[in-house]
A and B are shown apart, each in its own frame.
Chain A
Amino acid sequence: MIKKIYLIGNPNVGKSVVFSRLTGVQVISSNYPGSTVEIAKGYLRLDNEKVEVVDLPGTYSLDPTSKAEEVAVSLLKEFPKEEIAVINIVDSTNLERNLLLTLQLIGEGFPVVVCMNMCDDAGHRGVHINIAKLEELLRAPVISTCALTGVGIKLLTERIKEAASVPGDKLTHQERWLEIGKIIEEVQHLEHRHHTFREIMEDASVRPVTGLIMAGVIIYAAFKFVRFIGEGIINHITDPVFINIYQPILEKLSSYWQEKGFWFHLLIGDLINGKIDFKQSLGVLTTAPYIEFGMVLPYAVSFYFILSLLEDIGYLPRLAVLLDNLLHRLGLHGYAVIPVLLGFGCNVPGILSTRVLESKRERFIASTIISIGVPCIPLQAMIFGLLGKFGGFYVGGVYLVLFSLVIILGVILNRSLSGYSPEFLLEIPPYRFPPLLMLWKKLYFRIKGFLVEAMPVVLLGVCFINILLYFKLFDFVTSIFAPIVQGLFGLPKEAVVALAIGFLRKDVAVGMLMPLGLSANQLFIGATLLAISFPCVASFVVLAKELGLKGVIKSTLIMIGISIIVGTLLHFAILR
């Protein structure tokens, strides 16, 4: 009687895709090791019984060498072996490396079903495996699958119950590798092929000169594409909808309003020259939806589209190799590019994925750097929207300031914190081209997550701000901080409200700067300060969870200190 099914396998063999196929639960999968940092659970119907399925983080062997692997192994031993089934997911294109874990699982007496995933890719690469022979040698059911398209999944579910414990053995790793050599000899046949274009590109991307050129081109193109797609959506879809359809409805509504009192102020906001201005009115029905759907969402879509594409192709680990050098000086190693890139979407998943880094020290440095120097997409979208009209110089300037900050801060943290950075050891996946449908699914999943998380905060936030503004409750706070904001940063005292709102949401905060009539330089300072000052409340909570109370206090003090220094420096450098 199977009570629990575990999915286990090496990193980046497609466990999460198989998991989604089996349970229907959508999880984020990417083409790099370690995309599963949280353990996902779902249910599978087996002989009319609901059985829990657990997706474990990737592990190379049963003797864990990292935190994620430790978790995987300890979970596996939670239940007696008779009550579980283990689906060992294997990358068919690289059977040899995957077999160590398979043999260990079988050797330790776990009831195993081997799922030879990515069988289509293996075929393309000229790898042929004799499944029947392998089944005989391993003494466990072996099923060939391609989880991306769903091939073999049905057969896999049918054969799960065949998983049975076989008499084990206790070999050393060295002995196992000899055994693996023999098995491979018998079951695997490699077609001899010339280097394909894909393989040439795979090699070129990790060589110093060609790699850097490719990285430069890819990053530049990615950035251009994000802006191109984002602006395209704004100009051709969202702006026409807001201005041609939504605005006339609101105008009509507001003309029925005889007395423009509290509710008018709350819902519509201020009229600019007698008209609703989505960027400046600041009402729950006007500016709030416009910020979210008209300014941020288009960029969120374009950013996540490009990020998901790069993730699934498998480019990111190559970028990690190229940047390892630089990141080493910041006390991190190459793999930290993954949390940083995710942070550009939203700091929350960025900080969460710092779990792929091994030491506490690295996680502290990476999380602090992300919350200070990595602007999330809502903030970036607002910066494009606000500063873009003054020219690329200002937009570029914000990124330049943030980038310099990351470098300086990283170097200082690396020198001043005790401990050392662990070594860099990473498997580089082959390039893969996932079906577009998978890409759309992932994009949909991420955008939905973004909206569900952002919308309530934005609506309630704007509501809350409007109430405070209406009853002039901000005046007190403003008067306290006005000397700092006016004297040190050169911003009008109303900007205090915007900076304070930054704690709630960055996009709304930049939105608050819009009606203030700031000069380009002032906007530049305001936007930069919003980027570095305080993380929004969502990332703050995650930060506290990941770093602990002491860590988060330390990180916060660094942020406040840096904001004051940078704000003052920028003010005296460009405004005077």
Chain B
Amino acid sequence: MKKISLVQIKSNELVKILEILGGSNLESKLLSMGVFKGKPVTKLSHIGLRGPVVIKAGRSILALGHSVAEKIIIERA
């Protein structure tokens, strides 16, 4: 199965996080902000030209740099 990251889906899609690539540092940082494996998140927007991706996780709204968003692999609910 091909892996889909947060940058590849459309805005307003509700997805579930499958995997976080890019090392334990990023993973633990995201974990402490409430973004972890199995967490449902909604993509809110994506600023073009490799800009950040904005997601809603629980009641928090988070902006992730493009390179961070690329490392978050998701599955469609």
Chain A interface residues toward B at CB < 8 A:
60-61, 63, 65, 93-94, 96-97, 100-101, 127, 173-174, 177, 202-203, 206-208, 211, 317, 320-322, 324-325, 328, 333-334, 423-428, 430
The answer to whether residues A322 and B65 also contact, given A61-B32, A100-B34 and a CB cut-off of 8 A, is no
**Closest partner residue, chain B, to A173 (CB atom):** B31
The reply on B21 being an interface residue by CB < 8 A is: no
Are B47 and A325 closer than 8 Å at their CB atoms? yes
Are A208 and B46 closer than 8 Å at their CB atoms? yes
Residues of A within 8 A of B10 (CB): none
The reply on B8 being an interface residue by CB < 8 A is: no
Are A97 and B36 closer than 8 Å at their CB atoms? no
Are B47 and A65 closer than 8 Å at their CB atoms? no
Taking a contact as CB atoms closer than 8 A, the residue among A60, A61, A321 that contacts B63 in the complex is: A321
Are B44 and A203 closer than 8 Å at their CB atoms? yes
Residues of B within 8 A of A328 (CB): 50, 65
Taking a contact as CB atoms closer than 8 A, the residue among B30, B32, B58 that contacts A94 in the complex is: B58
Are A423 and B67 closer than 8 Å at their CB atoms? yes
Are A208 and B47 closer than 8 Å at their CB atoms? yes
Are B28 and A173 closer than 8 Å at their CB atoms? yes
Interface residues of B in 15-51 (CB under 8 A from A): 25-26, 28-34, 36-37, 39, 44-51
Residues of A within 8 A of B47 (CB): 208, 211, 321-322, 324-325
The reply on B14 being an interface residue by CB < 8 A is: no
**Could you list 20 examples of A-B contacts with CB < 8 Å?**
A63-B28, A65-B28, A65-B29, A96-B58, A97-B60, A101-B32, A174-B31, A202-B61, A208-B47, A208-B48, A423-B64, A423-B68, A424-B63, A424-B64, A424-B65, A425-B68, A426-B62, A426-B63, A427-B61, A428-B62
Are B34 and A96 closer than 8 Å at their CB atoms? yes
Are B29 and A173 closer than 8 Å at their CB atoms? no
> Shortest 10 CB-CB distances between A and B: which pairs?
A424-B65, A61-B32, A60-B32, A325-B51, A428-B61, A207-B45, A423-B65, A97-B34, A65-B29, A94-B59
Residues of B within 8 A of A424 (CB): 52, 63-65, 68
Are B46 and A96 closer than 8 Å at their CB atoms? no
Are B51 and A324 closer than 8 Å at their CB atoms? yes
Residues of A within 8 A of B7 (CB): none
Chain B interface residues toward A at CB < 8 A:
11, 25-26, 28-34, 36-37, 39, 44-52, 54, 58-65, 67-68
Residues of A within 8 A of B26 (CB): 423
Are A427 and B32 closer than 8 Å at their CB atoms? no
Complexed CA–CA distance, A202 and B26 (Å): 26
Complexed CA–CA distance, A203 and B47 (Å): 13
Are A173 and B32 closer than 8 Å at their CB atoms? yes
Complexed CA–CA distance, A426 and B63 (Å): 5
Are B54 and A206 closer than 8 Å at their CB atoms? yes
The answer to whether residues A321 and B52 also contact, given A208-B46, A425-B64, A426-B63 and a CB cut-off of 8 A, is yes
**Closest partner residue, chain B, to A65 (CB atom):** B29
Taking a contact as CB atoms closer than 8 A, the residue among B32, B37, B48 that contacts A63 in the complex is: B32
Residues of B within 8 A of A93 (CB): 59
Are A425 and B62 closer than 8 Å at their CB atoms? yes
Complexed CA–CA distance, A273 and B64 (Å): 63
The answer to whether residues A173 and B62 also contact, given A208-B46, A208-B48, A321-B52 and a CB cut-off of 8 A, is no
Complexed CA–CA distance, A324 and B31 (Å): 23
Name which of A60, A127, A202, A317 has the most chain B CB atoms within 10 A of its CB: A60
Complexed CA–CA distance, A426 and B34 (Å): 12
Taking a contact as CB atoms closer than 8 A, the residue among A65, A202, A425, A430 that contacts B65 in the complex is: A425
Residues of B within 8 A of A423 (CB): 26, 64-65, 67-68
Are B68 and A428 closer than 8 Å at their CB atoms? no
Residues of B within 8 A of A317 (CB): 63
The answer to whether residues A425 and B59 also contact, given A206-B54, A324-B52 and a CB cut-off of 8 A, is no
Residues of B within 8 A of A321 (CB): 47, 51-52, 54, 63
Taking a contact as CB atoms closer than 8 A, the residue among A61, A100, A177, A428 that contacts B54 in the complex is: A428
Taking a contact as CB atoms closer than 8 A, the residue among A65, A173, A203, A430 that contacts B25 in the complex is: A65
Residues of A within 8 A of B30 (CB): 425
**Closest partner residue, chain A, to B11 (CB atom):** A207
Are A208 and B63 closer than 8 Å at their CB atoms? no
Are B58 and A97 closer than 8 Å at their CB atoms? yes
Residues of B within 8 A of A322 (CB): 47, 51
Taking a contact as CB atoms closer than 8 A, the residue among A65, A96, A100, A426 that contacts B59 in the complex is: A96
Complexed CA–CA distance, A97 and B31 (Å): 10
Complexed CA–CA distance, A317 and B29 (Å): 19
The answer to whether residues A334 and B52 also contact, given A96-B59, A208-B46, A426-B62 and a CB cut-off of 8 A, is yes
Taking a contact as CB atoms closer than 8 A, the residue among B11, B29, B36, B61 that contacts A425 in the complex is: B29
Name which of A94, A208, A424, A427 has the most chain B CB atoms within 10 A of its CB: A424
Complexed CA–CA distance, A208 and B11 (Å): 11
Complexed CA–CA distance, A557 and B37 (Å): 49
**Closest partner residue, chain A, to B67 (CB atom):** A423
Residues of B within 8 A of A61 (CB): 28, 31-32
Taking a contact as CB atoms closer than 8 A, the residue among A60, A203, A430 that contacts B33 in the complex is: A60
Residues of A within 8 A of B48 (CB): 208
**Closest partner residue, chain B, to A99 (CB atom):** B34
Are A173 and B36 closer than 8 Å at their CB atoms? yes
Whole-angstrom distance between the Cβ of B61 and the nearest chain A Cβ: 4
Are B33 and A427 closer than 8 Å at their CB atoms? yes
**Closest partner residue, chain A, to B68 (CB atom):** A423
Are B63 and A334 closer than 8 Å at their CB atoms? yes
**Closest partner residue, chain A, to B47 (CB atom):** A208
Residues of B within 8 A of A94 (CB): 58-60
Complexed CA–CA distance, A163 and B22 (Å): 40
